[in-house]
């Protein structure tokens, strides 16, 4: 902003008026001027320099870098509200903290090398490249959105209670990615984990996306099936009764936790691993980890049957009208 100061009229102004105008000029340099180089007597720029607002002389200095303080001292440049970078480069070789603020980068690169980027609010990268090398990228209770590319090299990416969204860009990491209580959404992009680990404790969605994993990827896809709910297996005890089945064309195996309860309240819980091949009669079931109450009670036994398309898990009860509930984890 500009500070209007009247010129001295040599013919009519008094000496007191001259002093007043001089004081206004000194006040303007103190409160409005921005030093743009290391010259202690003043500053200049080779291009356009604009500051909108009122800055004290010890608030903002642009010497070899933009910082706080004045031309003779160095201090931190603190932003407590919004920081907006349009068509610019934001680069840090140390730590960047954005607390309770919105950070918006449009058409720019945001680079963190050997430091840590931490945000307790929202971070938006629109048409921008996000690059983190040897650093931590942490978002707690906020949202990270990128419409371009995001690169995390030798860095940990941690999102807790937040949304991590990449739209129309590419997310690449050579280290670990952690999504805890967060929704991860990738649309029409490439998501790569190279030499690291991807761990997800909530939802992850890949839509029209190519996912690359060069080392290990752990996906936990759980399904709960209450096959016989508030009912029973009937009065047949001479033969097994089917309690659960899965299609061979969709899954090759399943981990099952099954709980059977008799009419007298006896409970038998057992973990099962079922695997099959392409052969119509080739299926294996392994049971382990049996827990029963009272101890040693035998409510029934498990078996399998298989045809060309489906694998079935069966239960043969000891006493009639046993109810069974199962929890399954499908494995490709």
Sequence ranges of the domains in the chain = 83-220, 223-331
Q: How far, in Å, CA of 218 to CA of 68, rounded?
A: 47
Provide mean pLDDT across the span 171-186.
Answer: 73
Which of the residue ranges 95-99, 237-241, 251-255 would you say has the lowest mean pLDDT?
Answer: 95-99
226-255 burial, b at 16+ Cβ within 10 Å, e below that, comes to ebbeeebbeeeeeebbebbbbebeebbbbe
pLDDT at 39 over 60: no
Provide mean pLDDT across the span 114-124.
Answer: 78
Confidence band, pLDDT 50/70/90 cuts, at residue 228: very low
Q: How far, in Å, CA of 186 to CA of 146, rounded?
A: 10
Provide mean pLDDT across the span 69-78.
Answer: 67
Which of the residue ranges 64-68, 119-123, 158-162, 278-282 would you say has the lowest mean pLDDT?
Answer: 64-68
Look at 234 and 82; give whichever has higher pLDDT: 234
Under DSSP, the state recorded for 145 is E
Q: Which residues of 141-251 form beta strands (DSSP E)?
A: 143-146, 150-153, 156-160, 163-167, 170-173, 177-180, 183-187, 190-193, 197-200, 204-207, 210-213, 216-217, 222-225, 241-247
| Residue range 223-331 in CATH 2.60.40.1680 | yes
Look at 53 and 189; give whichever has higher pLDDT: 189
pLDDT at 37 over 60: no
Instruction: For residue 152, report the phi and psi dihedrals to the nearest 5 degrees.
Output: -125, 105
- Per-residue tokens: 329: 């984890």
Confidence band, pLDDT 50/70/90 cuts, at residue 294: very high
pLDDT at 27 over 50: yes
Which of the residue ranges 122-136, 166-180, 218-232, 271-285 would you say has the lowest mean pLDDT?
Answer: 218-232
Task: State the average pLDDT for the chain.
Answer: 76
Highest mean predicted confidence (pLDDT) among 44-58, 98-112, 281-295: 281-295
Q: Show the CA angle centred on residue 265, arms to residues 264 and 269, nearest 5°.
A: 135
Look at 98 and 241; give whichever has higher pLDDT: 241
| 210-to-129, 169, 221, 267, 322 alpha-carbon distances in Å | 19, 12, 19, 45, 46
Which of the residue ranges 17-21, 93-97, 193-197 would you say has the lowest mean pLDDT?
Answer: 193-197
pLDDT at 36 over 50: no
Cβ 219 vs Cβ 303: under 8 Å = no
Cβ 100 vs Cβ 122: under 8 Å = no
Tell me what pLDDT residue 229 has: 47
Tell me what pLDDT residue 320 has: 93
What's the gap between Cα 218 and its chain centre?
A: 17
Confidence band, pLDDT 50/70/90 cuts, at residue 269: very high
Tell me what pLDDT residue 35 has: 47
Look at 205 and 38; give whichever has higher pLDDT: 205
Long-range Cβ contact pairs of 197-205 (< 8 A, separation 24 or more) = 204/179
Q: How far, in Å, CA of 160 to CA of 120, rounded?
A: 10
Look at 160 and 228; give whichever has higher pLDDT: 160
């Amino acid at each position: 902003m500009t500070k209007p100061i009247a010129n001295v009229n040599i013919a009519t102004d008094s000496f007191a008026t001259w002093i007043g105008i001089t004081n206004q000029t000194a006040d303007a340099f103190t409160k409005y001027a921005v030093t743009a180089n290391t010259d202690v007597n003043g500053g200049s720029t080779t291009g356009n320099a604009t500051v909108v607002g009122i800055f004290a002389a010890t608030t903002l200095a642009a010497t070899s870098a933009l910082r706080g303080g004045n031309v003779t001292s160095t201090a931190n440049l603190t932003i407590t509200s919004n920081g907006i970078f349009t068509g610019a480069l934001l680069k840090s070789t140390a730590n960047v903290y954005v607390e309770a603020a919105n950070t918006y980068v449009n058409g720019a690169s945001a680079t963190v090398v050997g430091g840590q980027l931490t945000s307790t609010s929202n971070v938006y990268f629109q048409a921008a490249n996000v690059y983190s090398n040897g650093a931590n990228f942490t978002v707690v209770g906020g949202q990270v959105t990128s419409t371009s590319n995001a690169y995390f090299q030798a860095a940990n990416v941690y999102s807790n209670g937040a949304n991590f969204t990449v739209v129309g860009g590419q997310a690449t990491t050579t280290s670990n990615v952690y999504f805890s209580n967060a929704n991860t959404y990738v649309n029409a992009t490439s998501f790569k984990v190279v030499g690291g680990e991807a761990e997800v404790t909530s939802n992850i969605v890949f839509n029209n996306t190519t996912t690359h994993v060069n080392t290990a990827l752990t996906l936990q896809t759980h399904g709960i099936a209450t096959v016989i709910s508030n009912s029973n297996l009937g009065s047949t005890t001479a033969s097994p009764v089917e309690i659960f089945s899965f299609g061979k064309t969709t899954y090759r195996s399943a981990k099952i936790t099954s709980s059977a309860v008799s009419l007298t309240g006896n409970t038998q819980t057992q973990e099962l691993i079922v695997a099959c091949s392409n052969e119509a009669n080739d299926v294996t079931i392994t049971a382990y980890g049996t827990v029963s109450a009272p101890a040693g009670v035998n409510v029934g036994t498990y078996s399998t049957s298989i045809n060309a398309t489906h694998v079935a898990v069966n239960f043969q009860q000891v006493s009639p009208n046993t109810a069974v509930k199962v929890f399954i984890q499908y494995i490709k």
